[in-house]
Structure 1
Amino acid sequence: GTPSLGVGEIARVTKANGGYLNAGTIYDHTHYYAVLPSTGFAAGLAVQADAYANSLIDASELARELEVIIEEAKRKQDNPTALATETLFELLHDQHRMRRWRIGREAGLRTLERAHVDRFYRNFYRPSNTVLSIVGDVDPDAALALVTQLYGGLADAPVVRTPGPAERTGAAPAFRYRELSGDIQQAELVFGWRTPALLHPDTPALDLVSAVLSSGRASRLYRGVRERRLASSVNSANYTPTDLGVFTMHIVARAELAVPAARAAWDQLRCVRDGAVTTDEVDRARRVLEASWLRRFATMEGQANHLASWELLGGWERAGDYLDALLSTDAATIADVAQRYLAPELGGLVAYRPASAPAFAIDAAMMRERLDAERPAPLAVATRPGAATPVSPARSVTLDRVDGAVRVYRTAEGMPVLVQRRSGAIGYLGWFARGGSSTDAPSQAGLASMAARTALKGTQRRGSQRLAEDAEFLGGVLSSSASPDLLQFTLSVPVRQMADAAELLGDVVQRPSFLAEAFEAERAVALASLASMRDDMYRWPMRVAQEAAWAGHPYGRSLLGTDETLARMTPDDLMGFHRTHVLESSGAVVIVADMDPDDAAALAG
């Protein structure tokens, strides 16, 4: 609170003006944001300015909030992914503050007093250390005048910084390994390497390495680990706070498959270092990253966060330099940075296994031997998709009515096509129908979800890899889901790719192949996801509560089904579901894009 706004009033006033707010802190910055309609801008900004300049660090409120934070810290210890990841940061760093448990631990948190927090607030919350970004339907001159009025008179002073110790250099590199065990059902393995900060010239290439490895279903880790049923989840990231970076590969797998899954991921990174990545793979990854870059501008919140985060790094214009470097990186550069930063001897691995499982390795040397013992079969070479499979000419659609900004068309068969023109670089297409998991019989729980996910594994015209490559070369994100009452397939792409995207989405909705191999891969993932849910201290209690609250009703069942219903399921069951709930249903197409509505509607014909 502040002298003029009591506890809870900041959120209440923001909500009363039609908005919401949130805040967060990570390793190198703290952010606050409010999202409101333009009519609430002045009131919302006044609230934010008051909170920024006049916060009261009330001792009793601090004590209550500390108890909340301490409980959150305890829950984090119960989160297998968080525990493994932050243990990796500790393993990789001997001196840097990155090695500390970010949220703090109970003993240290209980020593915090009002004076500590107030001193931090008064030192860092100063105009010269703060960026304010405003994006939306507001007059720039009026907004600047209001900012000057609210913030212009605030006192400023240099910020006193106490940087922690830097990492020692010069020591001989050596692979690091730590193994943990606990009351979990799935193993978590996190590889890591130290990398440079975001503004380093090698960072765009390292980010592209991560995209080649794990962005999309055509990526190397997805095909080489998940598609081979070695893990339920696998991804990579190059996390780059202000003065350092950490490149990670994260795997969730059954304990008996954990080492083979780690070996497969390890091998794909070796392929990157050895120069096996093709020009087509790099092009696919660049397109995926470029489209992801554009998606952040789809909302006012995304644009404001983009401007503020880059301005903190020395100027929002630097974002353009980073993007240019990213999109000009080639396969040779990827191999070069992987060799220099992601070499085996520079890495580390944290393995967190179920206590009931035998140890994976007794030390780093033994784990290196297991990782290098046997190379998995190589992946099929990823190539640029050829021309799209010819399809029948689009049939006409007719305008039915106009409801505000939405134009409703009808196909010749009567299916509604809803179109809204909205400015932006990304277009969205979706097919929606009533009836998701609530249509599953109790003996077939999880059927709707399995059908939706497996439909993305290939069609009668496109195999699994071709489908993934076609979508990702469009810069697209293809997804499907089955909630209790809704079945949906969606695809978002840069607007210039909308015609090809419509053909691809139509192929997925109308002609999924449901091959046995794809079905088995998705069933393995579903079973692993059920096991992971039981390790989650939030999702599992919620699942139990939901089952009790909706006893005997479809809403009480897990969208994933159960171990027993998944074991009984067959590809024929998926085909039957698709026939009844997709081909024979009364679905609707929704298109939101910056294009002529008539042209957009014609894509659904």
Structure 2
Amino acid sequence: MELTRYELDNGMKVLLHRAAAAPVVACNVWVGVGSADEEPEEAGLAHVHEHMLFKGTDNRQVGELAREVEAAGGHINAFTSFDQTCYYVVMSSRYFETGLDILADAIQNSSFDADELERELEVIQEEIKRGKDNPSREASLKLFETAYAEHPYRLPVIGTSESVDSFGRDDVLDFFHKHYVPENMALVLVGDFEIDEAKDLVEKYFGGFENGGYTPRERAPEPKQTEFRGWAAGDDINQAHLRVGFHIPHATHDDIPALDLLGAILGYGDSSHLFQTIQREQQLVNSIYSGAYTPKDAGLFMVSAQYQLPEEGRSDTDVLGAIMKEVFRFRDVRPSLVDLERARTIIESQEIYGKQTVQGLAMKVGRYQMVTGDPQYEQVYYEALAQVTPEDIRRVAREYLTPDNCTVVLSHPEMHGEVTVDELEETTRKAREASESEHVKERVELDEEGFARVKLPGGPTLVIQEDHSVETFSARALCLGGLRYENVDNNGINSLLSELVDKGTLNWSAEEIAHRVESMAGSLKGLAGRNSFGLSMSGLSQFFERSFELFAGCLLESTIPDDEFEREKRLQLEYIRSRRDKLGAVNYEQFCAGFFAPHPYSMPSDGSEASIEALSADDVRAYYKSLINPQDMVLVVVGDIDSELVEQLAERYFSGHDTGESLAPEIPEPGELNKAQLVVSDLEKEQAHIICGFQTPSLDHDDKYPLEVLYAILSGQGGRLFYELRDKQSLAYSVGARMVFGLDTSAFVITIGTSPEKIEQAVEGIVREVRKLHDGTITEDEVARAKRYLAGSHDIGLQKNSARSLSVGLDELYGLGYKRSLDYGERIEAIEVADVERVVDAYLDPERMLVSIVKPEACEVPDDLLTRVLEE
């Protein structure tokens, strides 16, 4: 990578990389302060600044920063980690200077208004509550809290409810003046710009930033762990969450490349050892992963797993013992060269995939700068990665994967009974002993955009786009199907089939398929949507022919083996049960049931326990046979490929199949909303979740575009809902609108997660904002900003081959024309205020909406809530 590196006179580091493949620029400001740099009384202040820096400056009012970026079609956001805070803008290169201006203003001139701070602290409290509702996140936080005894990595980045509640404006300002100085910052710019012009703009906006000098806080070193640590507790959850950690060195240590490879071999992907042994063969877990977490200071080698115990015959310690035995096995055996090359390919491929977007490149450069001090450290890392041998991997396993360096955290359903730390330790040590004693060896015309469309004889419609900017490809095969083709008896069959279609063919077993895919650093996955079914494959273009053979075989010759069916059926049932832990998912399911009935959209996409339990392997095979008809399919291949080769392969594999009649089920008409309706249920969570939905036409209707402009007016950090309901009233951490598109009907929905006591206020606020839309309050500026945001987001979203292939394929499948996405900007640009006002009047009637609420049982929602709200 050609990287221009220099320092401003004030000490700020500047890193510039020109990448002109797309007219997009990423502007990042990295600040060398994270939660690990906080004093005890400052816990969470770094994260508070992430929230506050975009909340107004001396030059811009609250909301103006986000509105300016979104008005230019860009994205603005920030994140906080243990080691740094990053503020970033991604936007069209034509608005490059606007992005720099906004970032510079936020970094240098934030006003930290006291009222805004008070409201934002409430929002952070909502964020903390939302985190506590996520059992997986809580388990991961507990791992760090338990594994680290002294180092500040043991504390949550976001702080605690108590610490956040203690902050005042002076605390924020003191922290800001202490850490937000040029010497402690790096500016990273990647995208379509000229270097000399960028240098001038950087000097213009950041050159006058005065440096006050910086002395980093000295972090408490973590003592060497010399004995097992553990934590276990039962909770009202449906799935157990297991986390295992081993202390490892910092990011630039010589052992990190070998530890990264060990993580990939052990637990990354479907051909990894933990997946094959623990998830596939022994069927002990629903998901499992391992990898090395390498921040600025000493990190952790982690293993994470989720599982549900059967009613009898297995315990939490059985699961832990099996996992730890497989982990410790690598202390005694060297991985095969096949394993090593697969892992090396997976890790090295991330460098290529990371180049697909400018924001990915900017994040990579910035992270390396802040963590290692060398923005091009990646090259050093990959050179070291190439030198790692199987013996190196065994060496680091023996060095770091020991019971005395091990921390185990287990959050499990209360019904499992008590699990003690002593039991966790005993199980871990026995697994080490067992592994030690039992270790085992082991030809087409392209148009000006690079597109071609071909109807293959006796086969699918083939759409190709050649794009040689990055050495990757994406293929999609799509047909009508999905939830829309289901009924009460087979609800969830498309979702189940999407997990089975690549689990065995006439030529390959599931294990062989997984190994082939991951050895080529690719991905292969079934697709089951609301209106379609299909298969996707992405990978490196050097393996395209081998990948395409596998792709076609899985789609057309899937055998759906009985054992794979039983395994995936069990997993889908467990996932259906685990949905009950997710507040938003529970409410969305409830909303759809009330809104779309009797249309199939009213059912959950993964089915119900009853419908999935009733399905047999023969049912799924019969459905698969009737659904997959190549002549009715759309096949899309996008990326660094040769179009003539694609056509030859597509015709070889997809043409000439003797298929029967296409599946064409009778689809009930969706119901009509003639009055306001309220649906309420209980779920014991910290927050309540609200969805307000309005009926809108199908996705092929011309009103799709003004409705999308309306969604953009309401959503985003500069949108009406965010400003009115979050910023002004502090009702929620997240609130927004979106479209739920379908081939037969669609919905315009507004969602908000809020505290239970604020339910009525939240519904009133939503109705008030909807009524404002009817009062002629929509402005030319709002519409213009929304149009620029949609067009810019659309352009940014289509950078990746996978996104383009899906968009092109679905548009062609639905009869909209495969190039519809290419003129999206023009269609959006044609929308005027009158068009938006018309769709508001036509569809957003509070007297004909459905309001779905999920809340804690102790919170009462009156039956006449909507009557009261609508009468005001």
- Relative to the length of structure 2, the TM-score reads 0.65
- Choose which of 480, 483, 486 in structure 1 pairs with 2:529: 483
Q: List aligned pairs for 1:37-436, cutoff 5 A.
A: 37-169=92-224, 173-227=226-280, 228-256=282-310, 257=314, 258-312=316-370, 313-361=372-420, 363=422, 364-368=424-428, 371=431, 399=445, 402=447, 404-422=449-467, 423-436=469-482
2:63 partner letter: G
Secondary structure of the corresponding residue to residue 438 of structure 1: helix
**Given the superposition, is the C-alpha separation of residues 292 and 377 from structure 1 closer, same or farther in structure 2, using an over 3 Å criterion?**
farther
Is the 1:255–1:354 Cα contact (8 Å) retained in structure 2?
A: no
Of 204-213 and 133-142, the range deviating more from structure 2: 133-142
Partners of 1:14 and 1:239 in 2: CA distance: 33
Q: Which residue does the alignment assign to 1:512?
A: 558
Residue 510 of structure 1 and its aligned partner are, at CA, apart by 0.8
- For the residues of structure 1 that align with 2:269 and 2:562, how far apart are their CA atoms? 22
Relative distance call for 1:539 and 1:196 in structure 2 (3 A) is: farther
Task: Output one character per residue of 1:109-168: Cα deviation in whole Å (capped at 9) or x when no partner.
Answer: 111111111222222222222222222222222122111211112111322322332122
Work out the CA distance in 2 between the residues paired with 1:412 and 1:541: 46
Segment drifting more, 370-379 vs 440-449: 370-379
Cα deviation 1:206-252 (Å, max 9, x = unaligned): 11111001222110111111113211111112111111211111111
Q: Which amino acid aligns with 1:223?
A: Q
Are 1:552 and 2:598 an aligned pair?
yes
Q: What residue in structure 2 maps to residue 501 of structure 1? A: 547
Normalising by structure 1, we get a TM-score of: 0.92
- Aligned mates of 1:32, 1:143 — CA distance in 2: 18
**CA 1:306–1:603: 2 relative to 1, 3 Å:** farther
Which of 40-49 and 55-64 deviates more? Answer: 40-49
Does the 8 Å contact 1:264/1:375 carry over to 2? no
Q: Which amino acid aligns with 2:413?
A: P
- CA 1:471/1:271 → structure 2, altered by over 3 Å: closer, same or farther? same
Counterpart code for 2:193? V
| Aligned mates of 2:265, 2:438 — CA distance in 1 | 16
Does the Cα contact within 8 Å between 2:637 and 2:646 map onto a contact in 1? Answer: yes
Please state how far the C-alpha of 1:454 moved relative to its aligned partner: 0.8
User: Separation in 2 of the partners of 1:564 and 1:370?
Assistant: 40
Give 1:106's aligned amino acid. Answer: S
| 1: CA distance, partners of 2:256 / 2:512 | 30
Which one-letter code corresponds to 2:394 in the other structure? Answer: A
Matching residue's letter, 1:368: T
Task: State the Cα distance separating 1:78 from its structure 2 match.
Answer: 2.1
Give, as a single letter, the amino acid of the residue that structure 2 aligns with 1:539. A
SS in 1 for 2:96: helix
Q: Measure, in 1, the Cα distance between the counterparts of 2:102 and 2:631.
A: 49
Q: CA deviation digits over 1:405-439, x for unaligned, max 9? A: 42212322252222222210222122122221221
The Cα offsets for residues 286-341 of structure 1, whole Å up to 9 and x where unpaired, read as 11122223111111111111111112221222111111222331211111101101
Aligned partners of 1:251 and 1:261 also within 8 Å: no
Structure 2 vs 1, CA of residues 415 and 53 (structure 1 numbering), >3 Å: closer, same or farther? same
CA RMSD of aligned residues (A): 2.3
Match for 2:253: what amino acid?
Answer: H
CA distance 1:377–1:500, change in 2 (3 Å):
farther
8 Å CA contact retained: 1:275, 1:331: no
User: Which residue is equivalent to 2:498?
Assistant: 452
Pick from 507, 523, 545: which aligns with 1:461?
A: 507
* Secondary structure of 2:335's aligned partner: coil
> Hey, what does 2:87 align to over in structure 1?
32
State the distance in 2 between where 1:479 and 1:324 align: 32
* SS of the residue 1:221 aligns to: helix
How many residue pairs were aligned?
588
Deviations along 1:168-189, one digit per CA (max 9) or x if unpaired, are 24x6x22212111111011111
Q: CA–CA distance in 2 between the matches of 1:532 and 1:122?
A: 45
Structure 1 residues 549 and 117: alpha-carbon distance in aligned structure 2, compared to 1, 3 A threshold: farther
Supply the AA of the counterpart residue of 1:409.
V
12, 23, 27: which is aligned to 2:67? 12
SS of the residue corresponding to residue 31 of structure 1 reads strand
Deviation (angstroms), 1:595 = 3.4
2:416 alignment partner, SS class: coil
Matches within 5 A, 1:545-584: 545-583=591-629
- The answer to whether the Cα contact below 8 Å between 1:453 and 1:480 also exists between their aligned partners in 2 is yes
Q: How far does the alpha carbon of each residue in 1:505-535 deviate from its partner, in whole angstroms, 9 at most, with x for none?
A: 1111111120001111111211221222212
What CA distance in whole angstroms lies between the structure 1 residues aligned with 2:255 and 2:344? 16
Q: Deviations over 1:546-566 (max 9, x none)?
A: 333334332232221111111
**Structure 1 residue 26: deviation in Å?**
1.1
The whole-number CA distance in structure 1 between the counterparts of 2:592 and 2:145 is 37
TM-superposed deviation, 1:371: 4.4
Answer with 1 or 2: which has the greater Rg. 2
Could you tell me which residue of structure 2 aligns to residue 472 of structure 1?
518
| Greater mean alpha carbon deviation, residues 219-228 or residues 369-378 | 369-378
**Letter of the 2:228 counterpart:** F
Name the stretch that deviates more: 500-509 or 261-270: 261-270
Offset of 1:68 from its aligned partner? 0.9
Q: Give the whole-Å Cα distance in 1 for the aligned partners of 2:485 and 2:128.
A: 40
Q: What 5-or-longer segments of structure 1 have no aligned partner? A: 383-396
Alpha carbons 2:329, 2:436 under 8 Å: kept: no
Distance (whole Å) between structure 1 residues aligned to residue 175 and residue 619 of structure 2: 60
3-state DSSP of counterpart to 2:415: coil
Q: Distance in 1 between the 2:607 and 2:130 partners?
A: 26
Q: Share of identical aligned residues, percent?
A: 27
Local SS of the residue matching 2:237: coil
- Distance in 2 separating the partners of 1:158 and 1:424: 42
How far the C-alpha of 1:449 sits from its partner, in A, is: 0.8
Going from structure 1 to structure 2, the CA distance change for 1:327 and 1:556 (only over 3 Å counts) comes to farther
Distance 1:317 1:403, change over 3 A: closer
1:580 is displaced (CA, Å) by 2.0
Give the counterpart letter for 2:546 in structure 1. Answer: D
Contact 2:278 2:322 in 1 (8 A): yes
129-138 vs 298-307, which moves further: 129-138
Q: Secondary structure at the match of 1:603?
A: helix
Letter in 2 for 1:221: L
Distance change in 2, residues 1:142/1:203 (3 Å): same
Q: 1:379 to 1:345 in 2, by over 3 A?
A: closer
State the SS of the aligned residue for 1:131. strand
CA deviation vs aligned residue, 1:484-521 (integer Å, no higher than 9, x gap):
11223111111111111111111111111200011111
In the TM superposition, residue 374 of structure 1 has moved relative to its aligned partner by: 6.6
Contact persistence 2:234–2:417 (CA under 8 A): no
Q: Which amino acid aligns with 2:454?
A: Y
